[in-house]
Structure 1
Amino acid sequence: MIKNEEYIVEVIDINANGGGVAKYEGMAVFIPGAVPGDVAKVKIIKVAKSYAVGKLLELVEASEHRAEPPCVYAAKCGGCVAQHIKYEFQLKYKQKQVKDCLERIGKIREVEVLPTIAMENPIHYRNKAQYPIREVDGKIQIGFYAAKSHQVVDIEDCVIGNQKNGAIVDAIRKFLKDNKISIYNEATHKGLARHLVIRNSINFDEAMVCLVINGKKLPHAQDLVERLRAIPGITGILLNHNTAKGNVILAEQTTTLDGRDYIMDKIGELTFKISLLSFFQVNPVQTKVLYDIALGVAALTGSETVLDAYCGIGTISLFLAKEAKRVVGVEAIPQAVANANENAQINGIANVEFVLGNAEDVVLGEKFDVVVVDPPRKGCEEDFLKTIVANAPAKMVYISCDPATLARDVKFMYENGYVVNKVQPVDMFPYTSHVETCVLLSRLTT
């Protein structure tokens, strides 16, 4: 293939980023915005040794799996890369993505990956939004980054975000403009307003609004409070002071301008206190589905001691505690451990202990019957997995948000005496390329 030339290709597959894959004379062609079944005219914008990247110019024939995006910003915003794909097909390609990774990376052959569990109403599900704030040609832009860039797409409303957020974004935009608040510039590290972070509760009418600033004080802060107070349901207004260079959104120091510095929400029957820096799944509806699956495959009888590694604010630990003898949750972030202990008290659960530190250190001191892990996208450290193997729990329940690192870690456990019993994908992130997966691994006995 030749760069800048145009070709007619048939899209036959989909990649992990939600883009279409075609083949032309044996070479793979990756085409963002294409869907399997499309026949498309593409312009080649990159040619590598074994693949090319094409820009979709025209649909010669549209796939039956293609849909009209529900969001007006879909073509520009980099957040929801699968809006042009019918929801039923999104579920199928996420199932295939998990299976492909387990076979290709994990070397687990003939593994059954169950159909992805759909969300009944896959819009307005996110309970957290992080908006970069920038200024272009004198206009304040609050929105999300365009694909593969730090250019902000100015957004009034997001189809997967909470419906309250549009009014909050509008109030922030007008406050910044009316009070001539300087806007942060990544290149010069000058300007005050950097990000807007909103956390919502879906079970209670509560929202936390945080303006991230490159400084210690916000001019006209009381005006901001009064504007936001006019929006029903806002229970906390915060400033986060991030003066560091780089892409990290939130810093450690936070000032409360008005109300509380947390919100309350529920997963199933359990209630959780969620602070600004706490990790809490962004889709509580599907989180309940996911945790019920984890609890089901763990098949606890009430006699087990369970380890919940990467426990965060204790969400999974407290679910497990209902059917276990004892649960130990381990977390490396002090604030999360404090929140976890508060959440245990709020829910009246006594058979759980939360430990600050590294999970491998805790494992060395106690024998566990079941280990549950829900690591970040990078997966588990190999030293941790080695410690788990040495501890020899009968079961490991692995919850993953990245099929590739899941497959890598499952391969390690498989090579060290564990077999895959169940693989269940759950659609926690409709209209994106991401998928959550729950895997049950059992130790082979000799």
Structure 2
Amino acid sequence: MKQKPPVQPGQVIEYEITGQGHSGTGVGRFKGFTVFVPQAVPGEKVRARMTQVKKNYGQAELLQVLKPHPDRTDPLCPVFAECGGCQSQHLSYETQLRLKRQQVIASFERIGGLQHITIHPVIGMKVPWRYRNKAQIPFGQEDGRVIAGFYRPGSHQIIDMDACLIQHPENDRVVAAVKQLANELNIPAYDEQKHQGVLRHVMVRIGVQTNELMVVLVTNGDYLPHQKTLLEQLRSQFPNLKSIVQNINRKRTNVILGPDNRLLWGSPVIYDMIGSIRFSISPHSFFQVNPSQTKVLYDQVRKYAALTGTETVVDAYCGIGTIALYLAQDAKQVYGVEIVPQAIEDARYNAELNGMKHVRFEAGAAEQVMPRWLKEGIKPDVIVVDPPRKGCDPALLDAVVGMLPDRLVYVSCNPATLARDAKLLAEKGYATVEVQPVDMFPQTGHVECVAKIILKS
């Protein structure tokens, strides 16, 4: 018989933190039982209260650090301990980078079973603050007033805030202005328990290179009270505002954006640059949130792709075409495939915007489109994949291997699924040579990686 866990909810324990889980959570073992606790660091001894107990692991809240890590520091944000937006402000930035590299190494060793891969030090930022070009902030009601902020970890309780130190300052200003106007104009915030109210979220996007600003007001239905006054006030306060959009989301859901956008004023898109490539950005567009590090990331993709101008490239998760168009500067021909039709429309427009006629985009599942391309005689020298956190579908990896590229460049926001897929690719004749982590998300537990994978000779 399996033994019962040695802890129960509400129990206070003291134990050593020996490792780091995903999203920067501390992890250790209490009487042989794995316990995760936020804001704890490997090497620390902590006192924690059990909040959840499963068969094989538990979760706890940090009560006291009994033996602190030497690089523990005071967080700059006054609501860091309550807010779920960041996980690592209590650590020096150098320590954050070191722990992220260790997370990548551990993933490859434990999940991938791959131990002889070069994992480079993480490329960090000179100033690891105020980097996010997109804010998505939920709104709510508290004591009769409208509040806005991130959720408390593990809950839907909004922690009201006036500023977020990882957001672009302009995003903060817009969120604060909308909150103030909602209170002055009595625009009710959405209550997710009752499914009532109007204002659900505000999304702000800024083109960091162009300084163009987009505001998306996510509402629970068509009606937006005092719309004219709200728009006039926003336009007068923000001269760089180019687009105001109402996004309608009527569903009881955690998904932020609904399917319908209504242009209230200005342009349906804003523009930004990555290097010399110009991109249009709509409310639903996926565009990396850290523009300066995006260029670092894409330059690394470019390095591992090793293009000379004669190669054919396939981008298997092309989105709005960011990586495909960035690589098209050095390639003979680029093909991009993406399952979201709207993203492909945006990618085609972005290719036209940059005068790139040697790029072809197609909507569909990559594992279906790529075998057809192969039958059409399309033989890539390099394939790039940049999948979501869950990694590549096995059928997609089969399609990649079926095209027999010389090189595969794998961009990943999840070291665990990257390591898993690297193991599968190793079984199919492709060796991961090296991995370059890039810190796209300072002050959080997340790390982006670029892996160089080659066909074994």
TM-score bracket, shorter-length normalisation: over 0.9
Q: 2:208 aligns with which of 202, 207, 210?
A: 202
Pair 1:21-2:27 in alignment? yes
Pair 1:101-2:107 in alignment? yes
Q: Any gaps of 5 or more consecutive residues in structure 1?
A: none
Q: 2:251 aligns with which of 206, 219, 244?
A: 244
1:143-192 deviation per Cα after TM superposition (whole angstroms, max 9, x unaligned): 11110111111111100011012221222112222222232221222221
- Does the CA-based 8 Å contact 2:134-2:171 persist in structure 1? no
Q: 1:132 aligns with which of 123, 129, 138?
A: 138
Per the alignment, residue 321 of structure 1 pairs with: 328
Q: CA deviation at 1:119?
A: 1.2
Hey, what's the Cα distance between the residues in 2 that align with 1:52 and 1:307?
A: 43
Q: Which amino acid aligns with 2:221?
A: G
Hey, what's the Cα distance between the residues in 2 that align with 1:354 and 1:8?
A: 55
Per the alignment, residue 3 of structure 2 pairs with: none
Equivalent residue of 2:420, what SS? helix
Q: CA deviation at 1:2?
A: 4.2
Q: Which amino acid aligns with 1:231?
A: F
Q: Percent identity?
A: 44
Seen in structure 2, the aligned counterparts of structure 1 residues 10 and 232 have a Cα distance that, compared at 3 Å, is same
Q: Which amino acid aligns with 1:276?
A: P
Equivalent residue of 1:164, what SS? helix
1:368-396 deviation per Cα after TM superposition (whole angstroms, max 9, x unaligned): 22110111111111111111111111111
Seen in structure 2, the aligned counterparts of structure 1 residues 189 and 50 have a Cα distance that, compared at 3 Å, is closer
TM-score normalised according to structure 2 size: 0.93
Equivalent residue of 2:150, what SS? strand
Equivalent residue of 2:64, what SS? strand
Equivalent residue of 1:43, what SS? strand
Q: CA deviation at 1:207?
A: 1.0
Q: Give the RMSD, CA atoms, in angstroms.
A: 1.7
Q: CA deviation at 1:110?
A: 2.5
Hey, what's the Cα distance between the residues in 2 that align with 1:136 and 1:29?
A: 34
Q: CA deviation at 1:233?
A: 1.7
Hey, what's the Cα distance between the residues in 1 that align with 2:146 and 2:64?
A: 33
Per the alignment, residue 292 of structure 2 pairs with: 285
Q: CA deviation at 1:218?
A: 1.1
Equivalent residue of 2:239, what SS? coil
Seen in structure 2, the aligned counterparts of structure 1 residues 48 and 219 have a Cα distance that, compared at 3 Å, is closer
Alignment map for 1:162-181 (pairs within 5 Å): 162-181=168-187
Q: CA deviation at 1:22?
A: 3.3
Q: CA deviation at 1:6?
A: 3.9
Hey, what's the Cα distance between the residues in 1 that align with 2:42 and 2:57?
A: 17
Per the alignment, residue 395 of structure 2 pairs with: 383
Hey, what's the Cα distance between the residues in 2 that align with 1:162 and 1:138?
A: 29
1:33-91 deviation per Cα after TM superposition (whole angstroms, max 9, x unaligned): 11223333333444555544443222333211211112111011111011111111111
Hey, what's the Cα distance between the residues in 2 that align with 1:45 and 1:304?
A: 54
Equivalent residue of 2:118, what SS? coil
Q: 1:81 aligns with which of 79, 82, 87?
A: 87
Per the alignment, residue 348 of structure 1 pairs with: 355
Q: 2:42 aligns with which of 14, 27, 36?
A: 36
Hey, what's the Cα distance between the residues in 2 that align with 1:45 and 1:342?
A: 49
Hey, what's the Cα distance between the residues in 1 that align with 2:56 and 2:282?
A: 47
Per the alignment, residue 63 of structure 1 pairs with: 69
Per the alignment, residue 124 of structure 2 pairs with: 118
Pair 1:412-2:424 in alignment? yes
Seen in structure 2, the aligned counterparts of structure 1 residues 253 and 2 have a Cα distance that, compared at 3 Å, is closer
- Does the CA-based 8 Å contact 1:37-1:64 persist in structure 2? no
1:222-241 deviation per Cα after TM superposition (whole angstroms, max 9, x unaligned): 11111111223211111011
Alignment map for 1:259-278 (pairs within 5 Å): 259-278=266-285
Seen in structure 2, the aligned counterparts of structure 1 residues 59 and 201 have a Cα distance that, compared at 3 Å, is same
Q: Which amino acid aligns with 1:32?
A: P
Pair 1:155-2:185 in alignment? no
- Does the CA-based 8 Å contact 1:131-1:142 persist in structure 2? yes
Q: Which amino acid aligns with 1:168?
A: V
The answer to which of 106-115 and 312-321 deviates more is 106-115
Equivalent residue of 2:331, what SS? coil
Q: Which amino acid aligns with 2:342?
A: Q
Q: Which amino acid aligns with 2:292?
A: V
Number of residue pairs aligned between Structure 1 and Structure 2: 445
The answer to which of 19-28 and 411-420 deviates more is 19-28
- Does the CA-based 8 Å contact 1:304-1:326 persist in structure 2? yes
Q: CA deviation at 1:291?
A: 0.6
Q: Which amino acid aligns with 1:211?
A: L
